[in-house]
Amino acid sequence: MATSKRKDDGTDATNGHYDSEKEKHSSYKRSENQKKLPIQIEQSTSELIISIIRDGIDGFIFWSIFQALAAMIWFFPLNELEISGYEAFAAVWLSPVLCLVPGVHSFLQEKKVLIVLRLLTVVCLASFQASTTLSRLVILAIGAGVSMLVLVATLWHSSTAIRYRTYWSLILGLNAFLASRVWYLTFVPTWWDNMTNSIVIAFGVISVISSSLEDVYKSQDKVPIQSSSLKSVACGIGLGSILYLTHMCLGEASLITRWTVKSYPDTGPLPLPWGSCVLVAVLLGSLVRIHIAPLVTVVAATLCIYTLLLCPNPWLGFTAGCVLAYLIMCLWPVVIDSLTECKPGVCLTVASITYIFQVLFWVWTVAFNFVPYGEHTREHTDWLLGLVMAGVALLVLCSNSSPGCVTRYDKKDKSVPSCTLYAKVIFLVFLIGQLGMYQRYIKYKPGPSDKPNPKMFTAAIWTYHFGYDNRGWPSMERAATMLNDTGADVITLLESDASKPFLGNNDLATWLAEKLNFYVDFGPSTKDHTWGNLILSKYPIVKSTHHLLPSPHGELAPAVTASINISGTIVDFVVTHMGNDRDVLDRKLQAEFLAKELKNSLNPAVFLGYVTSAPKSENYYHLLREGQMKDIDPTDEDRWCQYIMYKKLIRLGYARISHGGLSDTEVQLGTFQIPEDLNDYEDKEKVTISPKRQQIDATILFNEKFGSYHKGHGYFSNHGFHMGTPKYFYN
């Protein structure tokens, strides 16, 4: 028994030394393995980080395409001022309906099929470099439809690991999307120019090819999809609503500030630097979950969004907007986890229908004067937001899924990055975005340049057409160059609020102000349902007032009254875009309101207005007579919309510059001298088109880059003087 026991214990004289040596050898091997272990972890971590980068690229490309299609579709009715038929391209978002056909969903989940679909999505980014607007729309639409097929294949994949990585791809991609827009002054790098477009495509192709080598597609961690048509519809409405809410509020970091902006001197939070707070809110919402009932989160988000919409205090509204941004990101895991219970084809198709409906609803609230039944949706963003939050609440109420069942993958799978690792990369992306904000903040230093005659200034008016040229491509760089060449000191840009989902979520005011180093007054706010109105000024804006003009029948008309300190003299500017010409009563009431503003100005004043009337019309005369103004050139009878009027100033020059394909409207310029004595001065009454003959001071002359006097309409490929200008005034 003793011998047997010794044998069992391995301690007998015969083999005791052997076992001891074996233990030493095993201990040595463990020690060696422990020494090697950090190298293995480092390699594994590097591979996981590369996987996360690929996920981030996939998510970035998804958001780039998803948020671009509505703006591309909108270009056509925008040009035609009516429903164009191209709105039908929105149907590509319904591509997941194919999954209702038996076998299609499982076919889409095959590794080779997914790789082909992802590659096709990336290739469709090249739509930006297409030769025509229509071909660009078609190619982009194909990419959007295919990206939805990728989403339905991966978000409802039978592998929990792939679902989990799809969720983090969306979250990381959105954070990267926002950070990149910071560096491009609110624009999307994917759609900025051919070079950035090609770089994104290159990264996308590398990501797809690299992901084809991953083993995640072979994961054996399979889970069944619970099928319930009713829950699938409910979750689809919720998913579509959260997609729309994210696009509307978080498509760009400055959107919330543009909802709350007020007039000078208390403008409220401006995009720079306060957009950085939105980035903080998105980061916290992405990484820090609140442990309260999801329905309570929805209620809190609803209170925030109506505070943002209705609160007159800009700082309180902005604070509510930042909390809303945090809560939106907190709701994303709840939404994704709930999708586990849904039929993929039903859920994502319903989500697409919901999203399309909500985008169109906002179009109807603003463009009510040009769409069927628009009188019923006029200015009813409150209805829209109620529907959006009700959709999210419906999903929460119908969900039975356990929190984190998809979004917190806790399997011991070394091929799948942990939540912590994703969080670290997202935080790094956040720092990159904040660095961009800081770089812009220290660089932005508006102010006038030295001028030979500080009391002379040039004012300009241009209907900007939302920053897209007549072919639908971004025109910001070309527009900035042209505006800089005009030498204008004060510029009003009409049709300039692109901070809406269907207009690209671009902040034109911020971009131009930083690019040209101008002060800017943006107003009325985005939530006020106008097409936008802003003032750029080289001189400080002392105070301003934003107006919604009387519009009982037609589209809402914005106006701004701004007092600007030009070299020690306060000059008032009244800028506006009046209503459509078919709404006679609207324009009559608007002319009366504007004339009163001009009459009440005790300072020198300039009117820069889109009057939608011909010279010598009733509204034209009312502005002159009741506003106590002068037309800069009463002999110019070829104008229709844009007018420059003035009082208590000396006119020096007047020019009309062709739009050169950047807009549907020309640029008008007026140069003025501020009198030394406002009560005793003589205006320039004579006109010449030959400045050299009349020895006009060279400092008054407009830039020769735009050519010389041109009598008729200038159908130039670039910008040039036309319509009987430039003209100069003398005594």
- Rounded CA-CA distance 11/173 in Å is 62
Beta carbons of 241 and 389 less than 8 angstroms apart:
yes
Residue 595 to residues 429, 535, 602, 621: CA-CA distances in angstroms? 51, 19, 13, 10
- β-pairing, 642-647 vs 605-610, is antiparallel
Q: How would you class 536 by CB atoms within 10 Å of its CB: exposed for 0-12, middle for 13-18, buried for 19 or more? A: buried
Q: pLDDT band at 588, cuts 50/70/90?
A: very high
Asked whether residue 695 carries a pLDDT value surpassing 80, the answer given is yes
Per-residue pLDDT tens over the stretch 104-157: 999 999 999 999 999 999 999 999 999 999 999 999 999 999 999 999 999 999
If you average pLDDT over residues 191-215, what whole number do you get? 93
> Residue 226 pLDDT > 70, yes or no?
no
**What is the predicted pLDDT for the residue at 25?**
43
- At residue 412, the pLDDT reads 61
Written as one letter, the residue type at 208 is: V
CA distance 246 to 252: 10
CA distances from 506 to 24, 194, 526 (A): 68, 18, 12
- Cα Rg for the chain, rounded, in angstroms? 31
The answer for residues whose C-beta is within 8 angstroms of residue 647's C-beta and 6 or more apart is 598, 601, 604, 605, 627, 628, 629, 630
Locate 345 and state its tokens: 């084809």
List pLDDT tens digits, range 370-419.
899 999 999 999 999 999 999 999 999 988 777 788 888 766 667 789 99
In degrees and rounded to multiples of 5, residue 358 shows phi and psi of: -70, -35
Whether 689 contacts 709, CB under 8 Å: yes
Answer for the pair 626, 645: CB distance below 8 angstroms, yes or no: no
**Residue length of the chain:** 731
Model confidence at 10, in pLDDT bands (50, 70, 90)?
very low
- What one-character-per-residue DSSP string does 200-249 give? HHHHHHHHHHHHTT-SGGG---B-PPP--HHHHHHHHHHHHHHHHHHHHH
pLDDT over 70 percentage in the chain? 92
User: Residue 24 in contact with residue 132, Cβ under 8 Å?
Assistant: no
Dihedral, 516, 528, 83, 80 alpha carbons, nearest 10: -40
Q: What is the pTM of this model?
A: 0.91
- The backbone region for 580, taken as left when phi is positive above 0, alpha when psi lies in -120 to 50, beta otherwise, is beta
| CB 447, CB 517: distance < 8 Å | yes
For residue 89 the two structure tokens come to 């391209």
Helices assigned H by DSSP within 129-193: 133-155, 160-183
Q: Which two tokens stand for residue 231?
A: 């829950």
CA atoms within 13 A on the CB side of 359: 28
The helix or strand, by DSSP H or E, that contains position 439, with its residue range, turns out to be helix 419-443
Nearest CA to 616 among 596, 587, 636, 597?
636
d(CA 621, CA 616): 6
CB of 522 closer than 8 Å to CB of 499 = no
What pLDDT is stored for residue 100 in this prediction?
A: 95
| Residue 250 · residue 316 · CB < 8 Å | no
pLDDT of residue 413: 66
Percentage of the chain lying above the pLDDT 90 cut: 82
Question: Residue 70: in which H helix or E strand, if any?
Answer: helix 16-80
Contacts of 696 (CB under 8 A, 6+ apart): 688, 728, 730
DSSP H or E stretch at residue 494: strand 490-494
- DSSP-derived pairing of the beta strands 541-548 and 686-688: unpaired
Q: Is the pLDDT reported for residue 26 higher than 90? A: no
Q: Taking the CA atoms of 288, 293, 298 and 300 in sequence, report the sign of the dihedral they define.
A: negative
- Closest to 153 measured CA to CA, from 116, 106, 192: 106
Amino acid 437: pLDDT = 98
CA angle 13-19-21, nearest 5°? Answer: 110
Tally Cβ neighbours within 10 Å of residue 486: 20
Which amino acid is present at 690?
A: S
Residue pLDDT, tens place only, 502-539:
999 999 999 999 999 999 999 999 999 999 999 999 99
Q: How far apart are CA 437 and CA 184, in angstroms?
A: 10
Phi, psi of 405 (to 5 degrees): -65, -25
Asked whether residue 428 carries a pLDDT value surpassing 70, the answer given is: yes
